[in-house]
Chain A
């Protein structure tokens, strides 16, 4: 049983190595900046999760398209209303839900592809690896936004689901390079040789022995990846080819006020503030995790 051999070897050592996840949590809680970031992010996630309970209005209701449109911030509408008379605060709250959800789901797609591709290339080695890496170089040299522009203009009126898939499919290139490097480095490590000698299958070696060593780069890539997707989705929605109407995402709200930026300033200011705050917290968390993992 290769798995058991590994486990007993680990318990034999004097000081068991802390798991990357436990280490990450400990470091985040120890540093003040990342503790604050975690708290703020938690609040925003909570706002998104509880959106139906918190939002004062229905985010897509258009109560009075003539009298209640384009209202500046007031007590009834703290973030004002948009050209369709919808309440911007409610839309920003629902936007938190949608933007975070898109960020998380698209990043899951990216992680799956990145790990599968990188691990395959690294483990296969030789010609296969070389071809796979050249292909990756080409993908990396198309700016992600441009690639998405090409895709989204070719497939107009995409559903949210397909948008998420495309966002995910254009986000795994960097991670797969890191994964490939790690797998390449660990391929001839003693514990892998031992597993091979015990007759473990390639699949088992990859899943049971190599993948657990990739947890740290994956966690970092996921955190920074979500931030990246949120910005990208907002950018695409701002160009009018991201999240379809009447759904509210942060970029979408800004898009609705984009042709009258000066008159409807509240429509770009408030969703943008939420977006920057979210992205900042994710970046702080991702970078503190990376610092720890790299130092080890």
Chain B
């Protein structure tokens, strides 16, 4: 088990290193550099640009720049955000908790909802309800994240104004609320974005879990359990669900990229002040260091997610635990 963890950690480190190399290549393959892109200003002379380039080491050989880049990354330095006039690290680290909050609520919610839907369907296998639910989950599965976000915004903030339009807190009133009021204010703002992301992700979980449950149904031990005289409910819960939960752990790891990209769009639509919101705004401002920083942090999040899922899998599967 320890050896497995060590090997898996090593793999994750290699992956992060390659990601760093890829982003570095991206930056340097692109036409121009931060100073030709950001300072489109004719008043900035070529001399000033050259000075800036020298200041940031952009006139050094590529190999040296790469070493410096990796070194800076290892120290958590992601460069300077031009649009915020702050280090990228600061911008992202103040936004990251909001993204993680959104993602974790959606992760827990979507797995709970998805597994429930799948169980409900399998207990009524091949009936009209099962097929209807399959069609509904397919519909949400096929839906682009940003479109569902737009529809949710339209429906529940404009047509049926139940939720606030955007942001993480009320811009005016939040300061004047008591502790309880502040918590309620936060929850009210979190509800719609989190719900949207949950619904999106749960469609994938439900479809995946239904297939996993159906895979287990023909197993001998399920027939044995039925022949023992257990009710269908007991069979499903104790014998089928438990064995179909292992693939779910794999799915947790696989769902991180989708959750993260989903969060990017949802944050933009609901003005949720997370990493996605910061990065999407940086696109408009052509704040390249911030976009690249977001790509790197996002990839590290996804790598950590799949690492966590693999370790969880090894812990949950007794056959692997022994090694």
Residues of A within 8 A of B (CB): 134-135, 137-139, 141-147, 149-151, 153-156, 227, 231, 234-235, 238-241, 251, 254, 258, 261-262, 265, 268-269, 272, 275-276, 279-280, 283-284
Residues in B127-165 with C-beta less than 8 Å from chain A: 138-139, 141-147, 150-151, 153-154, 157-158
Residues of B within 8 A of A (CB): 11, 14-15, 18-19, 22-23, 26-27, 29-31, 37, 138-139, 141-147, 150-151, 153-154, 157-158, 257, 260-261, 264-265, 268, 279-280, 283-284, 286, 288, 291-292, 294-295, 298-299, 302-303, 306
Knowing that A141-B306, A144-B257, A238-B146 are A-B contacts, what are 10 other residue pairs whose CB atoms are under 8 Å apart, sorted by A's residue number? A134-B14, A135-B18, A142-B19, A143-B261, A146-B264, A235-B145, A239-B283, A254-B150, A269-B151, A280-B139
Q: Assess the A276–B298 pair: CB atoms within 8 A.
A: no
Q: Which residue of B lies closest to A147 (CB)?
A: B295
Contacts of B145 in A (CB 8 A): 235
Q: Assess the A146–B26 pair: CB atoms within 8 A.
A: no
Q: Assess the A137–B283 pair: CB atoms within 8 A.
A: no
Option from B22, B146, B283 in Cβ contact (under 8 Å) with A149: B283
Q: Assess the A154–B27 pair: CB atoms within 8 A.
A: yes
Contacts of A254 in B (CB 8 A): 146-147, 150
Chain B min CB distance to A96 (Å): 15
A144 to B302, CA, bound (A): 11
A145 to B151, CA, bound (A): 21
Q: Assess the B288–A154 pair: CB atoms within 8 A.
A: yes
Chain B min CB distance to A180 (Å): 17
Q: Which residue of B lies closest to A267 (CB)?
A: B150
Q: Which 5 A-B pairs have the closest CB atoms?
A: A154-B30, A138-B18, A143-B257, A262-B158, A279-B142
A238 to B265, CA, bound (A): 9
Contacts of A258 in B (CB 8 A): 150
A235-B144, A276-B144 are contacts. A142–B286 as well, Cβ < 8 Å? no
Option from A135, A155, A227 in Cβ contact (under 8 Å) with B142: A227
A272-B150, A276-B143 are contacts. A153–B299 as well, Cβ < 8 Å? no
Q: Assess the A149–B29 pair: CB atoms within 8 A.
A: no
Q: Which residue of A lies closest to B280 (CB)?
A: A239
Chain A min CB distance to B34 (Å): 10
A138-B18, A149-B291, A276-B144 are contacts. A154–B151 as well, Cβ < 8 Å? no
Chain B min CB distance to A19 (Å): 27
Q: Assess the A146–B18 pair: CB atoms within 8 A.
A: no
A280 to B260, CA, bound (A): 22
A-B contact pairs, 13 of them (CB 8 A): A137-B14, A137-B15, A138-B14, A139-B18, A141-B302, A150-B291, A153-B286, A231-B144, A235-B265, A272-B150, A275-B144, A276-B147, A284-B138
Contacts of B27 in A (CB 8 A): 154
Q: Assess the B144–A234 pair: CB atoms within 8 A.
A: yes
A7 to B15, CA, bound (A): 45
Q: Assess the A142–B150 pair: CB atoms within 8 A.
A: no
